[in-house]
Amino acid sequence: MAYNSAFFVSLAGCVASWYYTYTYVRITQQGQETNFFNAMYTEYSQPEMLHSLDALHELRDEVGFNAYPYEYFHLKMGNEERGKKLNQARRHITRWYKKVKLMYVKDHLRWDHYGEVLPGRESAAFFIDMLEPLMLADRVGMDRRLSSVFDWYRSQYDLNVSTFIPDKERLWTAEMDRRRSIVGSVSAPPVVSDEVALGTEL
pTM for the predicted model, two decimal places: 0.74
- Model confidence over 90-146: pLDDT tens digits? 999 999 999 999 999 999 999 999 999 999 999 999 999 999 999 999 888 777 888
> CB of 75 within 8 A of CB of 83?
yes
Query: What DSSP string describes 136-151?
Result: HHHHHHTT-PPPSHHH
**3 state DSSP class of 164:** coil
